[in-house]
Structure 1
Amino acid sequence: MRLTTIGFDADDTLWQNERYFRLTEERFAALLADHADTQHLSERLLQTAMRNLEFYGFGIKSFVLSMMETAVEVTEGRVPGEVLGRIMEIGRDLMRHPIEPLPHVADTLEALAGRYRLVLVTKGDLFDQERKLAQSGLGGFFDGVEIVSTKTVETYARIFRRHGDGPERSMMVGNSLKSDVIPAIRAGSWGVFVPHELTWTFEHDDPPEGELRYRELPHLGELQSLIEEIENA
């Protein structure tokens, strides 16, 4: 069955993202160095961020709120107002980071555009994701953009019905096994894992061994060859 629709994740699939969160976390740790060691603070921040996902979702605003909450907790409520102000400042800096497309992205999208319906499927804050797409210069390649709160089997089934001919004739490409690949495969589509060296812990999962529609690529430059292989099988 010929593919007609290809979905792409955004952060750390099309452009760098986690790198800037890591740098921000380092600045956060330096602000609270007198109250907690880096390892302990990192663990507390991760716990807080995971706990807050159901309230604030994904994205920079959620991360900033989690940093502020962690600062209050590790200082037992004694965090200076100046430190909270600095946390807000580094959060604004995170929203101003440059959008740096990853290798092979532009060439791959250009080669596939027009031949397939390309859909950007990303989760996070609406304002921030729209900003990054606009600054990336890649928006013109996509026939559709879906910014969602979470990525589930139902999410992919709905998106690939809306923008294409259903999951069976679609493919999802991303750096997260948990969010991009496994639920897309369970919806009936192909799932292509393109690892990124700094993928957030929350997005880790075991590869779906034995799944006929699962593939892993070292980078997006290999995607065209993979698609040709699938369609010629």
Structure 2
Amino acid sequence: MNASQVERFFATLKAANPSPQTELEYASVFELLTAVLLSAQATDVGVNKATRRLFAVAHTPAQVLALGTEGLEHYIKTIGLYRSKARHLLQTCQILIEQHGGEVPRSREALEALPGVGRKTANVVLNVGFGEPTLAVDTHIFRVGNRTGLAPGKTPLAVELALLDRVPEAYLVDAHHWLILHGRYVCQARKPLCHACAVINECDHGRHLKSATA
């Protein structure tokens, strides 16, 4: 995918969805961090069901800590790996209170120092919570980056760095959401919906399909 194709790719996605949003439900940066921490190997739908109940009773680090392990697990037990996630979240809340005044830090280094928070989670918080031009490469973005030819790479970090280099600045803040939604609903893993894809003319995979059937 060349530079003009990349521009058309994102211009098309923007025209279809000018203000993309995460599908995780949250009302503060701490709630966002909590939801993303709980979302590993879980669906947004499943996380939202659990956090609606959790945030109704605990939506600050101190309130979550006050629940204790059993109390927190009660609210998130429908989510996969809930025991380890509960442990990480409680440890994270302790650090937020002791080192950051109960607030979520805005630096990547401080975020990645939190238990259960890796580069992907940090990028989501920086992008969605603080509006930073970062991209969190999950399975959807990794697939879209490689399949379309937008940002090929053998690792999530390689795809992330390629995207940061290739996505025009005007689209960078929202690129994370456009790519996730495109991968989730159109450029799916097993059966990509190429017949319904608005960016097929810019996509390497789509052009190959067209040439094969020509």
TM range (shorter): under 0.3
Q: Which has the higher strand share?
A: 1
Q: Which has the higher helix share?
A: 2
Q: Determine which structure has greater relative contact order: mean sequence separation of CA pairs < 8 Å that are 6+ residues apart, divided by chain length.
A: 1
